[in-house]
Amino acid sequence: MTKKKNLDKLFNFLKIAGQLKNTLRFTEIDFSGRRESSADHSWRLALMTFMVAEELSLEINIEKAVRIALVHDLAESLTGDIDALLIARGDISAEEKDANELKAMLRIKKSLPDNLAGEIFALWEEYEDGKTEEARFVKALDKLETMTQLVELGYKVYDAPDFIPTYADKHVENFPALAPLLKTVKRNLKREYSKGGLEWREEYDRFLK
């Protein structure tokens, strides 16, 4: 394939990826009512990925982790964002979500030049499988970015206060080096619960002690 054809395919892929800017997530980004997009989330996650890895002196491939962070929600450009709370409540099955995202990624893979298609799909698949250190790191950090967003928004938007405090626990268990960051996030989240008069249960204190 010529370079021109590769660039044409890359341009078309970037149009698909650009739809993440219009893929709205479950929260408002500020009290003006502007909704956060998947692109907003992915950008800050990528920024956090290299900054946190360097700050904690993690022995991981930081460049690879950043690439994983950038593509981890790419399927949402076609499927939209599925709120984790919907899955937790059983409104949508995790299997259905996974199947739809796989279908979307196979379609995205076809839109890419051959020299990039395999890499992008493999990075996304690595994140989904969660078997490598880089994937486990980004998965845990993904939850921490979301919790950070909720701290910033404040208690007035907490429509599932029993779900938020433990949202990252399982994934930080799988990457314990992030426990200090989860402690920082939970400490700030607990302040929001106190301001809003929301119940903070004893089990939420995990990683705080």
Q: Is the pLDDT of residue 152 over 80?
A: yes
Per cent of the chain over pLDDT 90 is: 73
Neighbouring CB atoms inside 10 A of 188's CB total 14
pTM of the model: 0.91
- Among the listed residues 189, 179, 188, 175, the one whose alpha carbon sits nearest the alpha carbon of residue 209: 179
pLDDT digits (tens, 9 = 90+) for 78-122: 988 888 888 888 888 999 999 999 999 999 999 998 889 999 999
CATH of domain 3-205: 1.10.3210.10
Domains of the chain: which residue ranges? 3-205
Confirm if 162 and 168 have CB atoms less than 8 A apart.
no
pLDDT tens per residue across span 1-29: 467 778 888 888 999 999 999 888 876 55
